[in-house]
Amino acid sequence: MSKELTIEQAVLSENARNAESNRGRFRRAGVHVVNLMSGAGAGKTTLLERTIDKLKDRLRIAVIAGDLETRRDADRIERHGVPVTQINTKGACHIEAHQIADAASEFDLERLELLLIENVGNLVCPAEFDLGEADKIMILSTTEGHDKPGKYPLMFKECRALILNKIDLLPYTNFDTNAAVADAKLLNAKLEFFPLSARTGEGFEVFTDWLEKRAREARRA
Ligand code: MG
Ligand code: ZN
The string of pLDDT tens digits covering residues 84-136 is 999 988 888 999 999 999 999 999 999 999 999 999 999 988 999 999 999 99
Separation between Cα atoms, residue 130 and residue 69, nearest integer Å: 22
- Give the CA distances from residue 1 to residues 4, 15, 94, 127, 156, in Å, rounded to whole numbers and listed in that order: 8, 20, 25, 23, 28
Bridge partners, 87 (sequence order): 66
Q: What percent of the chain has pLDDT over 90?
A: 80
CA of 119 to the centre of ligand 1 (A): 8
The band of 49, judged by pLDDT with boundaries at 50, 70 and 90, is very high
Rg (CA), the chain: 17
Question: Does residue 4 surpass a pLDDT of 80?
Answer: no
Q: Residues with Cβ < 8 Å from 194, sequence gap 6 or more?
A: 161, 162, 163, 164, 203, 206, 207, 210
In this prediction, residues 146-175 reach a mean pLDDT of 93
Tell me the percentage of the chain whose pLDDT exceeds 70: 99
How distant is the alpha carbon of residue 147 from its chain centre? 20
Q: How far is the CA of 137 from the centre of ligand 1 (A)?
A: 14
Distance 56 CA to ligand 1 centre (A): 19
pLDDT of residue 62: 97
Q: How far does residue 6's CA lie from ligand 1's centre (Å)?
A: 32
Residues 96 and 18 sit within 8 Å (Cβ to Cβ): yes
C-alpha of residue 4 to centroid of ligand 2, in Å: 15
Q: State mean pLDDT over 175-199.
A: 95
Average pLDDT value over all residues in the chain: 93
Asked whether 145 and 151 are in contact (CB, 8 A), the reply is no
pLDDT band at 70 (very low <50, low <70, confident <90, very high): confident
Distance, CA of 71 to CA of 14 (rounded, Å): 28
Q: Looking at beta carbons, which pairs linking 102-107 to residues 24 or more positions away fall under 8 Å?
A: 103/64, 104/22, 104/25, 104/26, 104/64, 107/62, 107/83
